[in-house]
Structure 1
Amino acid sequence: MADAAGQLVPVLEDLLGTELPIRLRTWDGAEAGPSGAPLLVLRNRRALRHLLWRPDELGLARAYVAGDLELAPETDLYQVLGALDRLISQSHTVSLRPHPRDLFGPQGRRLLRTAVGVGALGPRPPLPPEEATREKLTGARHSLLRDRKAISHHYDVGNEFYSLVLGPSMVYSCAYWPAGTTGLEAAQEAKLDLICRKLGLREGMRLLDVGCGWGSLLLHAAEHYGVRGTGITLSAEQKRGAEERIAEAGLSDRVTIRLQDYREVADGPYDAISSVGMAEHVGSEQFRRYGTQLYGLLAPGGRLLNHQIARRPNLPGEDYRMSPFIAAYVFPDGDLSPVGNTVSLLEEAGFEIRDVESLREHYALTLRAWVDNLEAEWDQAVKLTTLGRARVWRLYMAASAMAFEENRIGVNQILAVRTGSDGASGLPRSREEWLAKDV
């Protein structure tokens, strides 16, 4: 069919009941859609089949990751994502798969003619290799073995790849951008120090870092606060990278990294526990156990800093799982819970909640910085992984940045205390005092 774009756009607008917020360029070179709108390129008919079989964000992601759907070189990624988000929101109330009885009406006949003409009908395209996660995950959700496989999928991509995206800090969580902060490295340094001050770290304390990543927080705490640190991770690549960095810093006698699940830790008590960007992997059905376990590992008067992404409680649905795209490609088995639920469960575990700080806007800035790093070294990123994997990371980080900016998700630091038998928290009376570095 000549002018495939010109045939597709009117049919899509008819189905959606609104003007398409993007412009399409099809494999035959034709273009259609609003002038000046973000331009998407359908490189082949397979892109349409991805969407026909899954007409939502996951179908779009599959087409993009597989290379069947492209952004025009002049198109801004964030503009495209904004336009597609509006389109997906609209399609929540308008089905792109008409009921069989509707196929006999004028709209249905037009849709069928167009679909046949442009070659959209056919078997479902094979899933991109990067989406093979669910098939590999067997056993009960959040069993020890299944969690190890889920974590390996995301974090064992390669330390060189993560170094390219994250920069020298090797911190894979929300940075902290107080006024005057310049650059990602300074913002991550500020975040690490903020956590250490909230935990009240002092010389000789024992610190447990749950989900320690590449050891950045432990390194900072040992170098600047004199603690003895233990980090646990389920990623073999992270453990290897963290141990290399610790040895280079000459801190192997004070910082230890273990390949271990938080449920397996039994060498408390610790004076302080940090859990930064890890609780999203715990699972809603395991979170009470998570809180109870960390509470039991703390000495009386010890502090927990739980840094965790949260979903908004007023969004549709009761499912705490990630979005379909994030669940399939990025964080399999991940859960997002409202911050109020997290606070309640930590209180049920015995903790006293002393402070909750939202860093939502800070995470948007962090994610945009990571996207900039990835795009600046795109060819090397592809070389270190695959084109599909690099596309997944670019898409998920940019989409996540917008989700934080638009208040669809948030991130919070919760400071909790295991009070002593006399009810003493060990914290000074004011926030200014307990945030002071010399306290």
Structure 2
Amino acid sequence: MADTALRLTSLVEELFGSPFPLRVRTWDGSESGPPEGPVLVVRHRRALRRLLWRPGELGLARGWVAGELDVEGDLYTAMERLVAYGAGMPGSLTPRDPKVRAGLRALTGLAGALPPPAPPAEEARRRGGLSHTRRRDRAAISHHYDVGNDFYELVLGPSMVYSCAYWGEPDGRESLEDAQRAKLDLVCRKLALTEDTRLLDVGCGWGSLAIHAAREYGARVTGITLSREQAAYARKRIAEAGLTDRIDIRVQDYRDVRDEPYDAIASVGMAEHVGEVRYGEYALRLHRLLRPGGRLLNHQIARRPEPGTSYHVDAFIDRYVFPDGELSPLGTTVAALEEAGLEVRDVESIREHYGLTLRRWVGRLEAEWERAVALTSPGRARVWRLYMAASALAFEANRIGVNQVLAVRTGPDGASGLPLRTRTWN
């Protein structure tokens, strides 16, 4: 009888010292593990060869994107169990550990000696050189955002907002569109937009904030993005809304904006692309673009501070989702803004809101799975499903957070122009 699943789970349990938490089914039809709950499906031995050549997250990611690994049952439950299981791995194990070396030899016997196939086509192909140059940033943004506006419509819904919504109830009973509208309005109120406001929307996406700011508050908006597909989509929406006289969308790097001063700047979900080496430059540039008394709203995902930890995103997200993405701790962001001369006046954590939002996006993707695959590719749809579900769990478990930081460029006399009770947002 075929026994590949039993051999594989026994190998993992020997290495980790505890029972594997998922049932496993392998390409020969054999199964092993607990009878209840999600099933980890290893469809082809190529997945094991990928792990041999790239042990850890990247090897697993390539197997998942290629469809060689899958989960039957609830994906969230499967990932929660795997994260908890991995956290229990002995910290002393290294590639030179005799137990690890014996495990790798056994895995070679299961996987076969052939090298793995090439990485899936959805993996970012980056050339050498420094990260966060203008050219490399353009390529990174294109990899993530230029995958088809129809696909993003399917996932994000009519609001076309690719940052966390702002929910009124913990169970997220209101519609995604209402919660996204509430987030856009929160940003506008924090920036105190009026008909006299000149707003710069850094990383404007598909134009949702720009449209809301112009339509609801009368603001004059300049939106910038590095994605040509986003810009074309935003311009079409703006024309249909009759707001071309209030909104200008540019394909432009924030480092190249020269038509200051602006009364307000919104940077929502963009700073994660800036990079630690450019963050001081980013903060200084936004400071210079603001008039004295002008406000900045910086909405940004944050990693929890850990000494000696790189702030680069995980290997899977770096290769398949956000190339060169980095998540800095909240304190790093606040320090950079203050060092640039801005006064930080308010910080609001909205971590739980992102978990609710991501679960809605995953639900939309799963409900329209066949169409999503047709709009992009099977691999791309699998990338988005895994990264959004994993991100939802990370926010819910407080492994990462998201914060809105409101800062002001004070005038020569130190005046901020903010009310004494800031949370009134007037």
TM-score when normalising by structure 1? 0.93
Which residue does 1:214 correspond to in 2?
206
Establish whether residue 267 from structure 1 lines up as the match of residue 267 from structure 2: no
Establish whether residue 360 from structure 1 lines up as the match of residue 377 from structure 2: no
Q: Which amino acid aligns with 2:83?
A: D
- Is 1:207–1:230's contact at 8 Å kept on the other side of the alignment? yes
Map 1:269-284 onto structure 2 (within 5 A). 269-284=261-276
Q: CA deviation at 1:154?
A: 0.3
Q: Which amino acid aligns with 1:275?
A: S
Give the aligned CA root-mean-square deviation in angstroms: 1.8
Map 1:163-182 onto structure 2 (within 5 A). 163-179=153-169, 182=174
Q: Which amino acid aligns with 1:184?
A: L
For 2:312 and 2:90, how far apart are their aligned partners in 1?
18
**Could you say if the C-alpha distance between residues 55 and 95 of structure 1 is closer, same or farther in structure 2, counting changes exceeding 3 Å?**
farther
Q: CA deviation at 1:19?
A: 1.2
**Could you say if the C-alpha distance between residues 70 and 422 of structure 1 is closer, same or farther in structure 2, counting changes exceeding 3 Å?**
same
- Is 1:15–1:96's contact at 8 Å kept on the other side of the alignment? no
Which residue does 1:404 correspond to in 2?
395
- Is 1:137–1:150's contact at 8 Å kept on the other side of the alignment? no
TM-score when normalising by structure 2? 0.96
For 1:166 and 1:378, how far apart are their aligned partners in 2?
14
SS of residue paired to 2:70: strand
Q: CA deviation at 1:95?
A: 4.4
- Name which of structure 1's ranges 43-52 and 335-344 shifts more when overlaid on structure 2: 43-52
Moved over 6 A (4+): none
Which residue does 1:93 correspond to in 2?
91
Establish whether residue 252 from structure 1 lines up as the match of residue 250 from structure 2: no
For 1:288 and 1:384, how far apart are their aligned partners in 2?
39
Q: Deviations over 1:208-245 (max 9, x none)?
A: 00000000001000000000000000000000000000
For 1:181 and 1:10, how far apart are their aligned partners in 2?
44
For 2:324 and 2:289, how far apart are their aligned partners in 1?
25
Map 1:2-401 onto structure 2 (within 5 A). 2-72=2-72, 75-91=73-89, 93=91, 95=93, 97=95, 99=97, 108=102, 112=105, 115-116=108-109, 118-131=110-123, 133=124, 135-179=125-169, 182-314=174-306, 317-401=308-392
Q: Which runs of no fewer than 5 residues in structure 1 stay unpaired?
A: none
Q: Which amino acid aligns with 2:330?
A: V
Q: CA deviation at 1:138?
A: 3.9
**Could you say if the C-alpha distance between residues 279 and 374 of structure 1 is closer, same or farther in structure 2, counting changes exceeding 3 Å?**
same
Number of equivalences: 424
SS of residue paired to 1:136: coil
Q: Which runs of no fewer than 5 residues in structure 2 stay unpaired?
A: none
SS of residue paired to 1:129: coil
Q: Which amino acid aligns with 1:407?
A: N
- Is 2:146–2:229's contact at 8 Å kept on the other side of the alignment? yes
- Is 1:312–1:338's contact at 8 Å kept on the other side of the alignment? yes
Q: CA deviation at 1:123?
A: 1.1
For 1:325 and 1:114, how far apart are their aligned partners in 2?
22
- Name which of structure 1's ranges 46-55 and 237-246 shifts more when overlaid on structure 2: 46-55
Q: Deviations over 1:187-220 (max 9, x none)?
A: 0000000000000001121000000000000100
- Name which of structure 1's ranges 85-94 and 329-338 shifts more when overlaid on structure 2: 85-94
